[in-house]
A and B are shown apart, each in its own frame.
Chain A
Amino acid sequence: KAGVTQTPRYLIKTRGQQVTLSCSPISGHRSVSWYQQTPGQGLQFLFEYFSETQRNKGNFPGRFSGRQFSNSRSEMNVSTLELGDSALYLCASSQGPGANEQFFGPGTRLTVL
């Protein structure tokens, strides 16, 4: 069974641009969560999607948004990039809410110049 895949793996953008990151969950998994990992703030929850609906949202500005498609694939978008958005963005999939086991992808390393 293929694991969680994230594309692209590395990305370099400049301030003010926008970016879209993609996550394909494990086959059969319907829940996708996103996390931001930085040296200063650690791992922080961005949002969770299940059946194309956002179930939960972390404490991030509105520049951060996401969506989920009918095949459970998810995208997150960051608009008007700031230097502080440089981070590793991790996606996790699970069978559903409260599944108690989430599987993480390798992450997308975003660098904002």
Chain B
Amino acid sequence: GDSVTQMEGPVTLSEEAFLTINCTYTATGYPSLFWYVQYPGEGLQLLLKATKADDKGSNKGFEATYRKETTSFHLEKGSVQVSDSAVYFCALSEGAAGNKLTFGGGTRVLVKP
């Protein structure tokens, strides 16, 4: 079945540092890929998405490129802020499975001033 693997945290960074969170997936078809963010005490917010190979999703300074050859969708941000402290989830969905999302385990990111 489908699965998503992402690097375990916590990841601790200083403000303005570069952030990378690795994500790889296993899927039988051609999934859509997502990054969601969860702030303390809140639900999930969609951060960015990519629906086909070589697509780049971007939002709020975050970027991720759908790499079919390496089955990866790594999240990057060039200069993090304290407000980026949150848990980040990589996820996929396959068209045949409707809206079912398969999530990675989440990566907690802590940005220190």
Which of A's residues lie within 8 Å of B, judged by CB? 4, 31, 33, 35, 42-45, 48, 50, 55-56, 58, 90, 92, 94, 97-107
Contacts and interface: CB of A to CB of B under 8 A. Distances in A.
Contacts of B41: 106
A22 to B, nearest CB: 15
Interface in B10-56: 32, 36, 41-46, 49, 51
B58 interface: no
Report, nearest first, the 8 A-B pairs whose CB atoms are least far apart: A104-B43, A43-B103, A97-B98, A104-B44, A106-B43, A42-B105, A45-B100, A55-B98
Interface residues of B, number: 24
Contact of A33 (B36, B100, B104): B100
B70 interface: no
A101 B93 CA distance: 10
B99 A42 contact: no
Contact of A48 (B44, B89, B99): B99
B86 interface: no
Contacts of A44: 103
Contact of B95 (A48, A98, A101): A98
A91 B44 CA distance: 10
A95 to B, nearest CB: 10
A44 B44 CA distance: 13
Contacts of A101: 46, 49
A35 B49 CA distance: 19
